[in-house]
Amino acid sequence: MRDGRTSRSAKAGRVLAPRALRLATLGLMLGLAIPSTARTPTLSANPPPPTQPLPYRDVSTRTVLPPAAGFDVAVLEAMAEQLVEGRRVPGLAMAVVQGGRILSARGYGVTDVARPEPVDAHTVFRLASLSKAFAGTMAGLLVNDGSLRWDSKVADYVPGFRLADEEYTRRVTVTDLLSHSVGLKAHNAYDRDIEANAEYYQVAQKLAEAPVQCAPGECYAYQNVAFSLVGDVVFAATGKFYEQEVQRRIFEPLGMRDASLGLPGIESSHRWARPHVRSRNGWVSIRPKPTYYRLPPAAGVNASANDMAQWLLAHTGHRPDVLPAPLLATLHAPVVPTPGELRSGWRRERLNSAAYALGWRVFDYAGEEVVFHAGAVQGYRGMVALLPGRDLGVAILWNSESSLPSGLLPTILDQAIGLPPKRWLDVDVDFGSDNLMVDREAAPPAPARRGTSAARATASPR
């Protein structure tokens, strides 16, 4: 499924007030950045004072309701357990937080059908496009610092960046990167080059040849290569590699102790879930495909259920020491409409509108705001959703190409809101543009093995 390209009706969440940028001496490290190197722009001697990002909603007065009567985490855990019975799905991890508490952070099934070990709360999965929310958050932290602005021009930080139109090249901002509104005509431009083992910096140069559909900020087309330019911007603004900054500014302060970036990161984890693909005889485990790990902002993060619980607590507003409320409101603000998200499965039935924010999708789900993202790459799938009106966060990760667990998410949202139950677990789901060029198939039944789950997790100390 490809999303429609539409004009933006509003730019809620963008902050166009000037901010001070701090100078960074990059030295020889700059030689590693995109063709002409990333750099920090030269500033006037008396820059204007920084301003705070503007929230699109008043977080201080927002009414939060409890989950509807009948919302029962034990029932949700039982559903997750049933999904791995008979190896319909090899392994799965789920985290649920509400009201600042971790209600569940558990694993189900096995890490590898060939050498089975139980999935637990610390088993690491590949997040694929769920990584994009980390990139938006990382950029937002730099905006909070005054090191970056949402309207900072990408070409000022990455001089080698080019689009086919010179004027459009000069206009592309950090917000445009993070909201997939650079203006390119094709969705996932040059992903096939990444699939063919091309290096990121070689492929990024080809953006100069990509047809454009509109001016930057005026239409939506989901990207992985163009989105990953935000990593070069982070490098230019801080003098440190993107991976180092995510580790220092997000993983460590949030207590995401199992989280990592890249193929070496997941393979060096104490316990990690192997990816599985379908064969004639059921699921077969394989080695993680390295290609999209070359795009860390778009698809580079690995994490466990316990990590995701900490991430959910932060994005539901319970770690203001790391992610302050005004920043969260800006990150979750709709920037560009994405009506293509309304076309299939539970989205077609439940969504009234859809948009893309800064590394997140934003839905009107049966009248309630849902902040969402999905991720899919060979052998892995994942979904994350925040329900701000109920102070609820959910993350579901699994290590196969089955779409079956996708129905667990709308089941949880329906229970939390109090909607009449539907059999979402029987519905095949299209991951749309969040799918990194992999087949979308449901798995057949296979020989049974019941996995074990970890004890209830607790929040990391602040």
Q: What is the CATH number of the domain that holds 403?
A: 3.40.710.10
Asked if residue 265 is part of any domain, the answer here is yes
Rounded average pLDDT over 327-350: 94
Asked if residue 394 is part of any domain, the answer here is yes
Task: List pLDDT tens digits, range 274-306.
Answer: 999 999 989 999 999 999 999 999 999 999 999
Asked if residue 125 is part of any domain, the answer here is yes
What pairs with residue 396 in β-bridges? 94, 383
What pairs with residue 393 in β-bridges? 97, 386
Asked if residue 208 is part of any domain, the answer here is no
Task: List pLDDT tens digits, range 105-135.
Answer: 999 999 999 999 999 999 999 999 999 999 9
Count of all residues that appear for the chain in the document = 462
Count the Cβ atoms, other than its own, within 10 Å of residue 196. Answer: 10
Q: Is 247 exposed, middle or buried (0-12, 13-18, 19+ CB in 10 A)?
A: middle
Asked if residue 249 is part of any domain, the answer here is no
pLDDT of the residue at 450: 33
Asked if residue 288 is part of any domain, the answer here is yes
Asked if residue 209 is part of any domain, the answer here is no
Count the Cβ atoms, other than its own, within 10 Å of residue 139. Answer: 27
pLDDT confidence bin for 63, thresholds 50/70/90: confident
In this predicted structure, the answer to whether residue 61 has a pLDDT above a threshold of 90 is no
In this predicted structure, the answer to whether residue 2 has a pLDDT above a threshold of 70 is no
The residue type at 276? H
DSSP 129: G
- The angle, 0 to 180 degrees and rounded to 10, between the axes of the packed helices 408-417 and 73-84 is 170
- pTM value is 0.83
Q: How many domains does the chain contain in total?
A: 1
In this predicted structure, the answer to whether residue 246 has a pLDDT above a threshold of 90 is yes
Nearest to 337 by CA among 316, 354, 361: 354
pLDDT of the residue at 5: 39
pLDDT of the residue at 398: 98
pLDDT confidence bin for 434, thresholds 50/70/90: low
Domain carrying residue 295: 73-131+255-313+342-434
What would you report as the CA-atom Rg of the chain, rounded to the nearest whole angstrom? 21
Asked if residue 239 is part of any domain, the answer here is no
